[in-house]
Amino acid sequence: MKIATWNINSVRLRAPLAARFLREHAPDVLALQETKCPNDLFPVKEFARLGYEHQAVHGQKGYHGVAIVSRLPFVAQKVGDYCREGHCRHISVTFENGLELHDFYVPAGGDIPDPEQNPKFAHKIDFLQRLEQKFKKRKDGAKTPVMLVGDLNVAPLENDVWNHKQLLKVVSHTPIETSLLNAARAAFNWIDVTRQFVPASEKIFSWWSYRAADWEASDRGRRLDHIWASPALKGAIKNQAIIKKMRGWEKASDHVPIIAEIDV
């Protein structure tokens, strides 16, 4: 089973890029974040024509939004209560083979890494705490195949950013955020799929700012997008890939897709 995740940064604007990605890489499932459209405007027919007839969509006008499109049918879908602001930032589906897939778009957190000065940062902290608490209550990680994917908006390791020391006070890599994300990962003993294949000593990114005049030359990226797997999937994860070339496509998102392949 081939699963991809991508912060598309407007699904209607970048539907042609999504189609190109799906044709080139043919994942069974694509989880999207920051779709930026209400459910009734989601490009249902465009994805269905590409073979992705099974769709779970949780969107709102102009902001946020998540969706899962699949060639494989779902037996259940659910929206979780992770966001205190009521934003569309989570959806999950369960497949016929028993795999449970969660798609998250964690709040970015604004520019000031102080919850007292910045309500957006306080919201992000609350979201990450809820993520930890909800999965900590579950005791089935060793027997239930579960995957968590999405734009988690935190680069947790030193080599998940282009310069660790310079970014310690920059939102997405501050100690409070990395600590909270690591706690959320530990709460369910999640496997960080990318780092199963790419050593922590090696830099790897999934996001490059639009502000860079030449994103590829400067390569000042961050690994904000993640695929996690429950302990039940240990040994089932076959490979992963970050599709860096897509950052150079015309009208690209500032994030690129990540793909993981598992045996279920």
37-69 tens-digit pLDDT: 999 999 999 999 999 999 999 999 999 999 999
pLDDT value of residue 213: 84
pLDDT surpassing 90 at residue 172: yes
pLDDT band for position 1 (50/70/90)? Answer: very high
98-128 tens-digit pLDDT: 999 999 999 999 999 999 999 999 999 999 9
pLDDT surpassing 90 at residue 75: yes
pLDDT value of residue 54: 98
Q: Residue 143, class by beta-carbon neighbours within 10 Å (0-12 exposed, 13-18 middle, 19+ buried)?
A: exposed
| Phi and psi, residue 153, nearest 5° | 55, 25
49 token code pair: 């024509």
Q: Residue 72, class by beta-carbon neighbours within 10 Å (0-12 exposed, 13-18 middle, 19+ buried)?
A: middle
What residues contact 42, with CB distance under 8 A and at least 6 apart? 11, 35, 55, 57, 59, 67
Distance from C-alpha of 239 to C-alpha of 27, rounded to nearest angstrom:
13
Q: What percent of the chain has pLDDT over 90?
A: 98
pLDDT value of residue 69: 98
2-11 tens-digit pLDDT: 999 999 999 9
pLDDT surpassing 90 at residue 153: yes
61 token code pair: 């006008």
Q: How far apart are the first and last CA of the chain?
A: 7
Q: Domains of the chain by range and CATH?
A: 2-262 (3.60.10.10)
Average pLDDT over residues 202-229: 96
Q: Give this prediction's pTM.
A: 0.98
CB burial string 231-260: b at 16+ within 10 A, e below: bbbeeebeebebbbebbeeeebbbbbbbbb
139-149 tens-digit pLDDT: 999 999 999 99
